[in-house]
Amino acid sequence: MVKIGINGFGRIGRLVFRAICDQGLLGKEIQVVAVNDLVPADNLAYLVKYDSSQGRAKEEVYSKKSSPDVAEDDILVVDGQEIKCLAVREGPAALPWKELGVDLVIESTGLFTARAAAQGHIDAGAKKVIISAPGKDEDITVVMGVNHEKYDAANHHVISNASCTTNCLAPIIHVLLKEGFGIDEGLMTTVHSYTATQKTVDGPSKKDWKGGRSAAINIIPSTTGAAKAVGLAIPEVKGKLTGMAFRVPTSNVSVVDLTVELEKPATYDEIKAEMKAQSEGPLKGIL
């Protein structure tokens, strides 16, 4: 059984955890031994149990104290599995991964995406780190179904899973290249549900003033690094793609629109047929 630690139990961290539960892996193939987040354990239990977009958790969820001596709950219990709740502020290197026997860390704070920072998890005793975002100087960027076969367990220890948009875009690009259509250049647009970094009412935004407008009533143009990140997973299209994003007033589900100039002429029906075949074959569950 693989022992996992989750650093950052926000939107992504909790949904990774829910995916583990929904696929029946918790306590069978995967043991989540600890989560590190500054939010108290009882509040984390509430957030796991009730999700406005994904619905209520199927499993029994509650928090408890590890012993009568502790002041607050520090254990999250899901489907009978006990998960230690940490609140370590000092960064990855200060986490007790060695003591807990953690094999793999999901780095989902959004703060430690550079290799030097993520390396702290390995220094603390973990064997591998998966960054839930585009990384910097990572050993490899992996998009499942596209380049996962290039993963080398002996040499790849700090792994980026790229971004949500990259995981949507890369499989489409992969099919076009795999089936010999080729790509001269391309433009992608993502119509993206709002995220936790946006504001419910108008407010200041240092990086981009438009980004400070109310997420619930505006379509907000934004940037995306997905086109560039695809080049990390599929080197053949490096420098050939560009793109932008629109943040829209929906809480869940996003869309990628891809326009490409193909190297080889193709009909719409040919492209549709290949996409359908791949979605029912090698890329089933991904595309």
**Quick one: pLDDT at residue 111?**
93
Nearest Cα to 219, choosing from 190, 241, 243, 242?
A: 190
19-34 residue pLDDT tens: 999 999 999 999 999 9
Q: Is 85 designated active site?
A: no
**pLDDT higher than threshold 90 for residue 227:** no
**pLDDT higher than threshold 90 for residue 223:** no
Q: Are 84 and 33 in contact (CB under 8 A)?
A: yes
- Return the percentage of the chain with pLDDT > 70, whole number: 100
* Local confidence band at 63 (pLDDT 50, 70, 90 cut-offs): very high
Sheet order of strands, 241-248 included = 220-222, 241-248, 183-193, 255-262
**Quick one: pLDDT at residue 153?**
95
pTM above 0.85, yes or no: yes
Residue 274: exposed, middle, or buried by beta-carbon count in 10 A (0-12, 13-18, 19+)? middle
The most distant pair of C-alpha atoms in the chain lies apart, rounded to whole Å, by 71
* Local confidence band at 240 (pLDDT 50, 70, 90 cut-offs): very high
**Quick one: pLDDT at residue 224?**
85
Q: Are 109 and 7 in contact (CB under 8 A)?
A: yes
- What is d(CA 67, CA 207) in angstroms, rounded to the nearest whole number? 45
138-193 residue pLDDT tens: 999 999 999 999 999 999 999 999 999 999 999 999 999 988 899 999 999 999 99
**pLDDT higher than threshold 90 for residue 83:** yes
Nearest Cα to 174, choosing from 153, 144, 151?
A: 144
**pLDDT higher than threshold 90 for residue 229:** no
252-276 residue pLDDT tens: 999 999 999 999 999 999 999 999 9
**Quick one: pLDDT at residue 118?**
96
Q: What number does CATH give the domain 164-280? A: 3.30.360.10
SS3 210: helix
* Local confidence band at 124 (pLDDT 50, 70, 90 cut-offs): very high
Residues contacting 90, CB < 8 A, separation 6+: none
Residue with tokens 């995220």: 195
Reported CATH class of domain 2-133: alpha beta
Residue with tokens 């007033």: 249
Q: Which residue ranges make up each domain of the chain? A: 2-133, 164-280
Tell me which amino acid residue 260 is: V
**pLDDT higher than threshold 90 for residue 232:** no
* Number of helices followed by number of strands (H, E) in the chain: 7, 13
